């Protein structure tokens, strides 16, 4: 798949087919792509915890759902009338189905700062997209992170930064809707905009 097309169509895919397995080889491939990303001082602090065990997935899925339900109200209140219904509906769906994803990838590190984790996550999302696999970056489990760590035997000094469901999408790949770049890009001084064609 062409890189720019992959970037345009890599979305938060929260509805995944629970009955279509993902091959180990595809998991290795997307994690290998993740490891090609930069990390501070090339220390390669990320550890990728791949969860395929049905019972453990169900347990961490339940923790995820509970965490989402705890933050949902605050999220809706913060956004007020602008709360995007489609995102909420799909986030609600994931909160009820996280544990049924064929695979859940949990990026971990011993560092206190996740900055060296997210570039790898994005590589993983793009690689998954090119294989036809949907993913979603989620972090709300961190509200109850200790419980997740207990299920997966994660040592006390290791952080679990995200919970990433991986599977074949039930829906279609759409193009990500984003603010126009002319609005979000400044030239030379903060706030100084320029039309793209100039
Ligand atoms: C740091 C971060 C944390 C996120 N946490 C969650 C989460 O806990 N649950 C969830 O459903 N989506 C989560 N998302 C996904 C965003 O809601 C999603 O990227 C955004 O709505 C854009 O979606 P789109 O790419 O499909 O347009 C998170 C995204 C980021 C970058």
Based on its alpha-carbon atoms, the radius of gyration of the chain, rounded to whole angstroms, reads: 18
193 domain-assigned: no
Residue 82 lies in a domain: yes
Distance in Å, CA 198 to ligand 1 centroid:
33
Question: Residue 188, Cα to own-chain centre: how many angstroms?
Answer: 32
Does 198 reside within a domain?
A: no
Flag whether 169 is in a domain. Answer: yes
Does the residue 195 lie in any domain? no
Domain assignment of residue 190, yes or no: no
3-9 contacts at long range (C-beta below 8 A, 24 or more positions apart): 3/126, 6/126, 6/129, 6/130, 7/126, 8/175, 8/176, 9/129, 9/173, 9/174, 9/175, 9/176
Q: In the predicted model, is pLDDT for residue 82 greater than 80?
A: no
What is the percent of the chain with per-residue pLDDT over 70, rounded to a whole number?
A: 99
Ligand 1 atom 11, closest CA: 91
Expressed in angstroms and rounded, the spacing between residue 40 Cα and the centre of ligand 1 is 24
Q: Domain of 167?
A: 3-184
pLDDT at 80 over 80: no
Cβ–Cβ under 8 Å, residues 41 and 91? no
Domain count, the chain: 1
In a domain? residue 189: no
Nearest-CA residue for atom 7 of ligand 1: 138
Nearest CA to ligand 1 atom 9: 138
* Residue 179 located in a structural domain: yes
Residue 10: which pLDDT band, with cuts at 50, 70 and 90? very high
Ligand 1 centre distance from Cα of residue 197 (Å):
31
Residue 77 banded pLDDT, cuts 50, 70, 90: confident
Task: For the beta carbon of residue 148, count every other beta carbon within 10 angstroms.
Answer: 23
pLDDT at 46: 98
Pocket-forming residues, ligand 1, beta carbon under 6 Å = 11-12, 14, 87, 91, 94, 136-140, 176
Q: What's the confidence (pLDDT) of residue 182?
A: 96
The enclosing domain of 15 has a CATH number of 3.40.109.10
> What are 149-198's pLDDT values in tens digits?
999 999 999 999 999 999 999 999 999 889 999 999 999 999 999 999 86
Ligand 1 centroid to 9 CA: how many Å? 14
């Amino acid at each position: 798949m062409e890189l720019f097309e992959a970037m345009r169509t890599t979305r938060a895919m929260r509805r995944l087919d629970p009955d279509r397995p993902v091959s180990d080889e595809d998991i290795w491939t997307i994690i290998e792509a993740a490891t090609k990303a930069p990390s501070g001082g090339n220390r390669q602090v990320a550890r990728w915890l791949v969860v395929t065990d049905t019972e453990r997935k169900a347990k961490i899925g339940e923790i995820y759902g509970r965490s989402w339900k705890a933050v949902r109200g605050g999220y809706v209140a913060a956004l007020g009338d602008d709360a995007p219904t489609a995102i909420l509906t799909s986030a609600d769906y994931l909160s009820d189905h996280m544990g049924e994803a064929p695979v859940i990838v949990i990026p971990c590190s011993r560092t206190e700062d996740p900055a060296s984790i997210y570039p790898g996550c994005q590589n993983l999302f793009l690689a998954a997209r090119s294989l036809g696999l949907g993913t979603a970056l989620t972090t709300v489990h961190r509200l109850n992170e200790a419980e997740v760590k207990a299920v997966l035997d994660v040592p006390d000094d290791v952080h679990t930064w995200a919970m990433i469901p991986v599977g074949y999408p039930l829906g279609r790949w759409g193009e990500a809707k984003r603010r126009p770049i002319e609005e979000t890009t400044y030239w030379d001084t903060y706030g100084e905009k320029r039309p793209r064609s100039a």
